[in-house]
């Protein structure tokens, strides 16, 4: 019994220590602009928590005292509110919105920039209409800029006329602001859905950021693909009405997709590969939502579209060109409404 009590104390103490370190980091990153003041607050919080842990007795009261310090910091942090009124970078300056009239979906502020370089472009914000009755497929891009443990995911819907509607869940950065993985765990970036042409979203990453991009065709019923797109639309419109925070753990490019798929009843159970999304295709292969007629390694090799994207440039046939030679889309559900294999 004594061993159990000691173990419990150690576990609780570790959790509280991590909570205090997070709270101090929140004060430093999300706190006052003055670095001196932010540092004083962060250091003071650690000092107060440490003093309580050492001087307050018995141990249970000390734990409550330390938790109270964390709770005060958390209460402050939760009061921080996102905003639409900042000096945004041009590529995220406009918020997309969408309206549905019967089966016709009209998207406004769809991004279709003409790039000469990553930050050198001609702006093109467009309005496009899609007939949801002609939806024929759903695809997932995964883009890597370095190690393949974690990448960026982009969803794309395919229509019978060869059109595609892509959506990338990102941070909305201000002018002069760069993304930081550490700062992404705090309240530093607003959540932003880039709705755009594949030539923009994919061409930018392959041609101007030097990333390696994979394209996986996802099998399923078109009714599921339609519901997933409409759930995206609801979130896009909700963000246009009220800004939301991005979070590198809970609301990032992959976990947000998972939330959407769960909302329409087609998402997988919580899995570690949703966070280490470089292995997301491994999960999809296990579930049979990507082509399983070939080994996983071969699927990945044939799904690398980087060179095709680079050789295609920004041509009108970009979406068709990057899909040449891809493994066929799997058929699921045995229904005539299942995504046809091209």
- DSSP secondary structure, 42-61, as one string: HHHHHHHHHHHHHHSSSHHH
The per-residue pLDDT for range 26-38, each reduced to its tens digit, is 999 999 999 999 9
Residue 217: name the closest of 260, 259, 164 by CA: 164
Of 117 and 264, the structure prediction assigns the larger pLDDT to 117
Residue 220: name the closest of 64, 331, 119, 143 by CA: 331
What integer pLDDT is reported at residue 323 of this predicted model?
94
Q: Which residues pair with 304 in a beta bridge?
A: 214
Q: Quick one: what percent of the chain has pLDDT higher than 70?
A: 91
Peptide bond into 303 cis (omega under 30): no
Q: List alpha helices for the chain, DSSP H.
A: 2-30, 35-55, 59-78, 198-203, 222-241, 255-263, 280-287, 296-302, 306-312, 318-322
What integer pLDDT is reported at residue 339 of this predicted model?
38
Q: Quick one: what percent of the chain has pLDDT higher than 90?
A: 72
Angle of the 59-78 helix axis to the 35-55 helix axis, nearest 10: 160
What integer pLDDT is reported at residue 223 of this predicted model?
87
- For the cut 90, the answer to whether the pLDDT of residue 176 exceeds it is yes
Phi, then psi, of 122 in degrees rounded to 5: -100, 130
- For the cut 80, the answer to whether the pLDDT of residue 202 exceeds it is yes
Give the separation between CA 74 and CA 58, rounded to whole angstroms. Answer: 25
Give the separation between CA 226 and CA 228, rounded to whole angstroms. Answer: 5
Confidence of residue 299 (pLDDT cuts 50, 70, 90): very high
Residue 142: name the closest of 133, 126, 130, 153 by CA: 153
pTM: 0.87
């Amino acid at each position: 019994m004594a061993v159990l009590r000691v173990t419990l104390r150690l576990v609780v103490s570790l959790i509280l220590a991590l909570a205090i370190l997070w709270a101090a980091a929140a004060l430093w990153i999300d706190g006052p602009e003055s670095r001196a003041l932010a540092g004083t607050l962060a250091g003071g919080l650690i000092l107060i928590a440490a003093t309580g842990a050492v001087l307050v007795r018995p141990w249970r009261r000390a734990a409550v005292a330390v938790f109270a310090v964390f709770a005060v910091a958390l209460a402050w942090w939760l009061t921080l509110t996102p905003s639409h009124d900042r000096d945004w970078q041009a590529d995220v300056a406009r918020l997309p919105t969408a309206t549905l009239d019967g089966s016709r979906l009209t998207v406004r502020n769809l991004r279709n920039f003409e790039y000469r370089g990553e930050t050198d472009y001609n702006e093109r914000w467009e309005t496009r209409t899609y007939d949801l009755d002609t939806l024929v497929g759903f695809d997932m891009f995964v883009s890597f800029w370095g190690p393949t443990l974690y990448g960026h995911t982009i969803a794309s819907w395919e229509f019978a006329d060869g059109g595609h509607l892509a959506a990338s869940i990102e941070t909305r950065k201000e002018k002069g602001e760069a993304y930081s993985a550490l700062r992404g765990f705090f309240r530093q970036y607003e959540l932003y859905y880039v709705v755009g042409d594949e030539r923009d979203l994919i061409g930018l990453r392959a041609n101007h950021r030097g990333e390696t991009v994979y394209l996986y065709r996802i099998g399923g019923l078109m009714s599921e693909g339609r519901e997933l797109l409409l759930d995206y639309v609801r979130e896009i419109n909700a963000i246009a009405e009220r800004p939301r925070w991005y979070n590198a753990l809970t609301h990032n490019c992959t976990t947000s997709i998972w939330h959407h798929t769960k909302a329409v009843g087609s998402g997988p159970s919580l899995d570690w590969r949703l966070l280490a999304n470089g292995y997301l295709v491994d999960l999809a292969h296990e579930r049979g939502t990507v082509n399983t007629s070939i080994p996983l390694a071969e699927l990945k090799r044939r799904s690398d579209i980087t060179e095709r994207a680079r050789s295609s440039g920004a041509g009108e046939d970009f979406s068709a060109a990057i899909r040449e030679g891809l493994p066929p889309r799997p058929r699921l559900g045995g229904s005539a409404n299942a995504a046809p294999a091209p």
